[in-house]
Structure 1
Amino acid sequence: MDSSKSKMVIMFVLLLIKFEGGWSEGCLDHEIFALFRLKYFFNDLHDWVDDEGATDCCQWVRVECNNTTDRVIALDLSDTRNWDLGEWYLNASLFTPFQQLESLDLSWNKIAGCVENEGLERLSKLNNLKMLDLSENLFDNSILSFVGRLSSLRSLKLSYNRLEGSIDVKELDSLRDLEELDIGWNKIDKFVVSKELYLRDTGFKGTFDVREFNSFNNLEALDMSNNEIDNLVVPQELRLSDNHFRIPISLEPLFNHSRLQIFDAYNNEINAEITQSPSLTPNFQLSHLSLSFGYGDGVTFPKFLYHQHDLVNVDLSHIKMNGGFPNWLLENNTRLETLSLVNDSLAGPFRLPIHSHKQLGLLDVSNNNFQGHIPVEIGDILPSLISFNISMNALNGSIPSSFGNINSLQILDLSNNQLIGEIPEHLAVGCVNLEYLTLSNNNLEEGLYLNNNSLSGKIPRWLGNLKGLKHIIMPENHLEGPIPMEFCQLYSLQLLDISDNNISGSLPSCFHLLSIEQVHLSKNMLHGQLKRDLSYNRLNGSIPNWVDGLSQLRHLILGHNNLEGEVPVQLCGLNQLQLLDLSNNNLHGHIPPCFDNTTLHESYSNSSSLKPFETSLFTTKNIAHIYQGKVLSLLSGLDLSCNKLIGHIPPQIGNLTRIQTLNLSHNNLIGSIPSTFSNLKQIESLDLSYNKLNGKIPHQLVELNALAVFSVAYNNLSGEIPECKAQFATFNERSYEGNTFLCGLPLPICRSPATMPEASIGNERDDNLIDIDRVFRIQFDPLNPSNP
């Protein structure tokens, strides 16, 4: 008896250990049960399943467990309830089984409150809960009295709810450990403050008494953007953008705030400096400053900036300041990385500092009144520029060749000035990372001409050195000569516009077509054939829809790549197309029925020819050949094999009377073989194998006297093979294998029509349907396949 009691005690202790988490091989049973209860309310949790072998909830999505105890410590239930169900009320007791829970995300669920007596105060039993996200819901002010009892919280997010009016700060007094409070995008007036306070779009207006912040000594970051407030305390980081502050450009009211490092007052009213004590200097050293978009005129350059030496980012745009370029700002701040002085009414010469400044990456002084020359030494003084914009000024002279010393330069905008001369070749040779070069509306004489210059000459060949260039825009000029072969090096080019010029020749055969998004070549004197052979590469993505803009394109070879998407109908707009190879890609969808709009359906005319050195690799008669010169001009074909194309073969394909080869094999095509294929009088190779075609082989195909290679193997075709005469007498059983219900020479002869089986549509999806009699005869009597 004592032994039995001892065993019961041991079992009871072991059960206690298991349920306390000391002995665990997965989720505790009561936590799994609690998760399934949650699934009823958060009904988009489709991955939570009660299947055998799926009882370890620690492996479920949106669930995180302690690695040692396997207790649930985090639940992410954001956006897991169907919004069509509307607002609802939460039973917070559902979460009490998770005693070790540390993080709970309930955002984006349209929760309007809690069930009576089952509010969030129930979570106070969860002593480890540190993060609670209730943002993007429909809670009102009453929620604060509940969350105020969760003393363990360190992060509380209530943004985008229905909080409004005054909030009693005492309701949150117990949140002693709170480090992050986000109540932005509500309409409230008072709040609790931790180290970070986010008050964006809270509806504050008028005067905000800064004394309300006096007790918040730990405040490090305050964001009050997009309000209409006037005054506030100054922490290290102060962002006041998009308000109605009247900010003196001297910033004198902030001089005593020695902790201030970041001041963002973007889009406020900047006042002209009226009086300032000359002896006063700021106690702060700023790293970031934005005072852009003021409304006043006649503002002088801020004098406090003469005392700043740690600036990294400065934006003083749209303030209408008087004076010249502040080269002293660069001299005093060697860490300066960005400087924006856009639309500031600055005038005079554009003078640079004496010493080289190696940190400045962005300089934008566009839309001012700078005059004179661009300093010839700019590339040596500012060698680290990534973006330089000095457009819409009154600069004259030539473009300094020292720009070529800035090999990091990606964006250069010198447009809308009075520059003359040519683009220095050293700019192209040195600026190897240049992506955007804008020079329009100047008086340039040679080189790269952009729109509205009315200039002449050839396109500089050295432009090919700008391998990162993305846009070349130079329409409506008098450019002449061919497109340089060096353009083949512009691997990043996205837009090429040389329309309305006198360009002759053709697009270089090596041009990297698929990097381009737009090509404008109209109104020139281009002639010859545009050829594209990009096969056997690693090209991916889809065939661009703008491809029909290359109206003179004759050969498009894109086989053996990783192209996806559908075969664009825009290919039918290539009315000069005679050779199209899209084989061995991942294309899907239907075959466009409109290829008969191209020259694939016309008889050959010898009025055009290709240059002897132009070649293309194309597969016909099951052999890949390199075609060149006149032979290439004679070749016409369509190869869409080895893709994922579906649907019926368009009967219009039978109108492509010019083609010598047609390969649609290794796809998922269905339906019958169009009888219109009998019109393909010049066809030499026809491969329809490895599809799901059904019905009979059209007997009219025996009229194709040029046919040398023919395969319909591995489909679901049925009935008698066309009469074994002419070219069809040359095809052996390999042309027809894999079609269970085909018969007739060179396969076994057909039985009487009354007893012959026929393949049905269902056979397209039945790969296991086998004619045992046929297999027996083929396998064991190969020397006499016609013997029934």
Structure 2
Amino acid sequence: MAIPSIQSAILLSFLVLFLGPNLQTAKLCSCSDDHKVGNCHSIERLALLDFKKGVEDPSNRLSSWRLENEDCCKWHGVGCNNVTGYVEELDLNTIKNTTQAAELSGGISPALAQLKHLKYLDLSHNAFGGIPNQFIGSVKELRYLDLSWNYFDGRISQQLGNLSHLHHLDLSYSRVSIQELQFLSHLTSLEYLGLSGSDLSETGESLQYINRLHSLSELHLSFCKLSSFPLMTNFTTTLSVLDLSGNNFGGFFFKAILNFIALQSLDLSATEIQGPIPKAIAQKTSLRTLRLGGNDLTGHIPDVLANFTSLECLGLHDNHLEGPIPLSFGAFCKLKELSLARNNISGEITEFVNGLSSCRPNSLLEILDLGDTKLTGNIPYSIGNLKSLRRLYLYQTSMNGTIPKSLGQLSELEALDLSLNAWDGELTEDHFANLANLIDLHISFDEKPPEPLFFNLSSNWVCPFTELFHLDLTNCQLGPPFPSWLRNLNRLGDIVLENVGISDKIPNWFPKIYPSLRVLDLSNNQISGKVPLELRNGLKSTEMGMLNLRGNLFSGTIPLNINETMPNLEFLTLSNNLIEGSIPSSICNLNRLRAVSLSSNNLSGELPQECWKDLQFLEIIHLSNNHLSGKVPISIWSTPQLSILSLSENGFSGNLPPNLKTVGPLRVIDLGENSLSGNLPMWMGKRLPQLEILRLRSNSFSGFIHEHHCLLHSLRILDLAHNGLSGTIPHCFGNFSGMATVDPTDPFFISMVSIEGIDLRRSSEDFEDQVNVWITKGIEREYNGTLEFLKCIDLSHNAFSGEIPREITGLLGLSILNLSMNQLTGRIPEKIGSMQRLEVLDLSRNQLSGSIPPSISALNSLNHLNLSSNNLSGRIPSGNQLQTLPDPSIYAGNPGLCGAPLKDCATHPDIHRLNHEEDKEDWLPFFISMSIGFVVGFWSVCGSLLLNKSWRYAFFRFIDDMTIIPVCVAVKARSFRLGRNHNAQHA
């Protein structure tokens, strides 16, 4: 029995010598309940299963994590030590390890503390909540910890300091609260620190702990709300990557950073650096990445950057840099990314591109962003030699000419944006020959040029870019036939083919690509047929967020099942078509609907009455120019987010609700050209503080404008013309501060709304295009594209009386003032000339009198004036702008007026009488006030004397005493004259 004991001793010695630290684990395994299946320990398997219970996994990524699948080392994202079997790695990074998988969410179970040997933990890019403080300080063997891009809520524990072996710590954009950084003092081995997106503004002096990380090579503190930073001296020789973007350091910090010896990547984007790029940067020739975008840099790009022969990424976008691209940039053969977008960069790109194209073996450039600059010239043919190019952005420059066919040789190209330039000629199949990797294609124009860019593609052409997702060819020329090359693009998400000259029906093959679409914009073409054709076939598009078929020839009715076929629709625009029938109530079941525009069709019937208030996200309702009738639904006013309500040019009748407790945040109400009646509701002034446009013209409203309506301080357009309103114009019109400002305000209805970056302004263009303003003589003028400048008051064709309130001249931003066809009296306000922005002034067909104020000649913007059919008199003022309005009819019906363009005042038969009457009219108020003052003063004194006896006696005694004064004066004067005569005789 001794031999086995000796053998056991030898075996134990062998285990101590070779297993070392793992011996304790081996002992635990042998004497505890823990057991292994394959390489997996049961304690750790149960801990992982407990973690899974609290996780929501919509993509079923953790399907392999099952109790019956006992070997947890084979589970997704789990890595074990091959010898000991302990879990050393847990990697559930959504982006890195999965393809199109949904994020994991839920809480992080403290059972993970059982993973005592865990060295690598990556839970980044998920949606975990809570805060993992209960176990985070217990896993002391961790070398790598990444919790970035999650939704943690709470303060991070200082127990992080227990992880003394940690080399990599990333908490960026995890929403953890960090108020103290003392835990960093224990992480002496830390090489990577990422706290980007964390609010470090309250950390104060504890920022100094970062300076103690002697081994640090990467520091990421972007968007941390920092305005200062401690002087870093301890890792000037180790730090190679520094990202401080999105903070407010200013230029003083720039030069200090240049002292870092090993620095290879520097990101100071959006840190409010001002002035020219310092030439001292020439010392950092080791830099491979330099990002200075989003600052206030000025001047030229310095030539010293030519020394950066190892430069791989240069980001100078969103500054105020000017001048040409340095020719030396053409020698940057290692350059992978260059962004100079949104600067004042000018000149051509030919020599720069030619330089890169001569790199041997090839240029490495992958991203070239020169959009929104002042570049000129054309795209050089040598662009086709940049074989590595993946993204090319040349949008909104001054470039022109034809697009070279060599673009078709960029086989790696994924994104191409040439929008908003002056291209001409045509695009052929050669332009797209090898673009098999293309995902984004944008070649659009603001307006269709006289000779639009023509897509000359054969009907049987099979396009190579079958993975295309974004397509925007607005204002190019693709038609008349519907482009057949779209039929193989089954992955398309966004199609914008606005005004591309299509005169055709939607082909039968189109439904094949329909279900994957998020955005479909075929507006302003000549497409005919039933609308929408695909919906009638029962096809369901769960991704569709925007459908814009505006300005075509579609007919038929709106499908009753629209809520089933497009359940996630946000923007529905079918205006300017031939659609008929009623609006189905199913439209109120589109729970995500934000804008609906069905204007200028043949729709009829009544609106659904009770459902509108349930549309929680609806912002725009535009149903004008149809044949709708009945009452305006009361529920429509209580739609929670409603901003624009346009129901004009229909047959709506009845009164507006007199009282409403809740009203949406309305900014536009357009109910013009209907048959509505009753008084103007008082609640409009009280409950609509954000209202900017109120248009109720051509209805049958009656009653008065109340002072409560003057509470609409934000009002820019008030149009109540062609109604039966009466009473006086309130003096409180001067409270319309939205009309008093001179600077134009940005129109809210041109808001940039988007679905994942796609511009969806089209949903509100209908309203902008069709705001009609009556000017004079029944002629209607449309304001297109300048609605943000328009500020208007139109009260014409009513029964208003009294004077024009002088407070109205304080509305200095007013563009149009139309008070014609009323019963106004009195004079034109003297300060009318202070309204410098007035373009239209119509006071015709009233009972105004007196002279035209001379200040009217100061209205330099005036292009329409009508003062006819009043009782005005005197000389017509002269002025530069008035001379451009020579039509005598604008003064007709005022027999007392003279001067150009009417008869000369010298030859006017009644000019002297008129001047005399005008003088009498001018002096009349003075004489009236003087008479009233005399009467009041006389009877104030004499009446008191008649009524009070003691006052009367005292008054007359005072008069008697006062008579002595003139007598004494007279005696003295006589004595003086006699004395003077006597002296004269003796002399």
TM-score by length of 1: 0.52
Residue-by-residue CA offset, 1:528-579 (whole Å, 9 max, x unaligned): 795879xxxxxxx99557799999999x9x9xxxxxxx988899x9999xxx
Equivalence map 1:40-119=2 (5 Å): 60-62=299-301, 73=314, 80=323, 95-96=330-331, 102-103=338-339, 111=348
The residue that corresponds to 1:148 in the other structure is 385
The residue that corresponds to 2:530 in the other structure is 272
Evaluate the alpha carbon distance shift between residue 552 and residue 127 of structure 1 in structure 2; reply closer, same or farther with a 3 A threshold: farther
Shift of 1:386: 0.9
The residue that corresponds to 2:735 in the other structure is 489
The residue that corresponds to 1:188 in the other structure is 427
The equivalent position to 2:455 in structure 1, one of 204, 229, 232, is 204
The residue that corresponds to 2:573 in the other structure is 315
Report whether the alignment pairs 1:461 with 2:700: no
Shift of 1:506: 5.1
Cα distance in 2 for partners of 1:198, 1:547 equals 41
Equivalence map 1:675-754=2 (5 Å): none
The equivalent position to 2:670 in structure 1, one of 410, 413, 420, is 413
Cα distance in 2 for partners of 1:611, 1:471 equals 40
The residue that corresponds to 2:125 in the other structure is none
Shift of 1:289: 0.8
Shift of 1:474: 4.8
Cα distance in 1 for partners of 2:724, 2:532 equals 55
8 Å Cα contact 2:531-2:555 kept in structure 1: no
Equivalence map 1:386-535=2 (5 Å): 386-401=643-658, 405-444=662-701, 446-447=702-703, 458-474=704-720, 481-493=727-739, 494-498=791-795, 501=799, 503-505=801-803, 507=805, 512-520=810-818, 524-527=823-826, 530=829
Cα distance in 1 for partners of 2:535, 2:838 equals 65
Cα distance in 1 for partners of 2:510, 2:323 equals 49
8 Å Cα contact 2:331-2:356 kept in structure 1: no
Shift of 1:336: 0.7
The residue that corresponds to 1:122 in the other structure is 358
The residue that corresponds to 1:692 in the other structure is none
The residue that corresponds to 2:583 in the other structure is 325
Q: What is the one-letter code of the residue matched to 1:484?
A: P
Shift of 1:388: 0.9
Evaluate the alpha carbon distance shift between residue 609 and residue 485 of structure 1 in structure 2; reply closer, same or farther with a 3 A threshold: farther
Cα distance in 1 for partners of 2:735, 2:508 equals 52
Shift of 1:220: 2.6
Evaluate the alpha carbon distance shift between residue 512 and residue 92 of structure 1 in structure 2; reply closer, same or farther with a 3 A threshold: closer
The equivalent position to 2:616 in structure 1, one of 335, 342, 358, is 358
The equivalent position to 1:306 in structure 2, one of 531, 555, 564, is 564
Equivalence map 1:339-350=2 (5 Å): 339-350=596-607
Evaluate the alpha carbon distance shift between residue 279 and residue 74 of structure 1 in structure 2; reply closer, same or farther with a 3 A threshold: closer
Residue-by-residue CA offset, 1:416-457 (whole Å, 9 max, x unaligned): 22222222222333222222222222233x13xxxxxxxxxx
8 Å Cα contact 2:378-2:400 kept in structure 1: yes
8 Å Cα contact 2:654-2:676 kept in structure 1: yes
Shift of 1:502: 5.1
Bigger shift: residues 466-475 or 98-107 = 98-107
The equivalent position to 1:157 in structure 2, one of 378, 381, 394, is 394
The residue that corresponds to 1:621 in the other structure is none
The equivalent position to 1:228 in structure 2, one of 462, 474, 478, is 478
Evaluate the alpha carbon distance shift between residue 108 and residue 505 of structure 1 in structure 2; reply closer, same or farther with a 3 A threshold: same
8 Å Cα contact 2:558-2:584 kept in structure 1: no
Cα distance in 2 for partners of 1:166, 1:199 equals 15
8 Å Cα contact 1:199-1:223 kept in structure 2: yes
Cα distance in 2 for partners of 1:95, 1:75 equals 16
Cα distance in 2 for partners of 1:472, 1:611 equals 38
Q: What is the one-letter code of the residue matched to 1:122?
A: S
8 Å Cα contact 1:377-1:402 kept in structure 2: no
1:377 counterpart SS class:
helix
Shift of 1:321: 1.9
8 Å Cα contact 2:656-2:681 kept in structure 1: yes
Show structure 2 runs of 5+ residues with no match: 1-257, 265-277, 286-295, 445-451, 740-790, 875-904, 906-914, 934-987
1:492 counterpart SS class:
helix
8 Å Cα contact 1:93-1:122 kept in structure 2: no
Cα distance in 2 for partners of 1:462, 1:400 equals 16
Cα distance in 1 for partners of 2:349, 2:308 equals 34
1:607 counterpart SS class:
helix
Evaluate the alpha carbon distance shift between residue 157 and residue 509 of structure 1 in structure 2; reply closer, same or farther with a 3 A threshold: closer
Shift of 1:279: 7.8
Higher RCO (CA-CA < 8 Å; seq separation 6+): 1
Q: What is the one-letter code of the residue matched to 1:155?
A: L
Evaluate the alpha carbon distance shift between residue 460 and residue 346 of structure 1 in structure 2; reply closer, same or farther with a 3 A threshold: same
Shift of 1:288: 0.8
The residue that corresponds to 1:290 in the other structure is 548
Q: What is the one-letter code of the residue matched to 2:516?
A: R
Aligned length: 508
TM-score by length of 2: 0.43
Bigger shift: residues 180-189 or 357-366 = 180-189
8 Å Cα contact 1:96-1:126 kept in structure 2: no
Cα distance in 2 for partners of 1:179, 1:542 equals 50
Cα distance in 1 for partners of 2:375, 2:367 equals 19
2:925 counterpart SS class:
coil
Residue-by-residue CA offset, 1:4-34 (whole Å, 9 max, x unaligned): xxxxxxxxxxxxx99x999996254999xxx
Q: What is the one-letter code of the residue matched to 2:495?
A: L
- CA RMSD in angstroms comes to 5.6
The residue that corresponds to 2:925 in the other structure is 608
Bigger shift: residues 243-252 or 297-306 = 243-252
Cα distance in 1 for partners of 2:532, 2:691 equals 44
Q: What is the one-letter code of the residue matched to 1:203?
A: F
The residue that corresponds to 2:183 in the other structure is none
1:346 counterpart SS class:
strand
Evaluate the alpha carbon distance shift between residue 181 and residue 379 of structure 1 in structure 2; reply closer, same or farther with a 3 A threshold: closer
The residue that corresponds to 1:48 in the other structure is none
Cα distance in 2 for partners of 1:21, 1:352 equals 70
Evaluate the alpha carbon distance shift between residue 386 and residue 477 of structure 1 in structure 2; reply closer, same or farther with a 3 A threshold: closer
Evaluate the alpha carbon distance shift between residue 303 and residue 189 of structure 1 in structure 2; reply closer, same or farther with a 3 A threshold: farther
Evaluate the alpha carbon distance shift between residue 459 and residue 80 of structure 1 in structure 2; reply closer, same or farther with a 3 A threshold: same
Evaluate the alpha carbon distance shift between residue 324 and residue 251 of structure 1 in structure 2; reply closer, same or farther with a 3 A threshold: farther
Residue-by-residue CA offset, 1:271-328 (whole Å, 9 max, x unaligned): 2279989885325431111112222444553756532211111101123223211331
Equivalence map 1:16-27=2 (5 Å): 26=280
Evaluate the alpha carbon distance shift between residue 385 and residue 155 of structure 1 in structure 2; reply closer, same or farther with a 3 A threshold: same
Cα distance in 2 for partners of 1:431, 1:63 equals 54
Residue-by-residue CA offset, 1:372-394 (whole Å, 9 max, x unaligned): 222233323x2322111111112
Q: What is the one-letter code of the residue matched to 1:260?
A: L
Cα distance in 2 for partners of 1:279, 1:153 equals 39
Cα distance in 2 for partners of 1:79, 1:208 equals 45
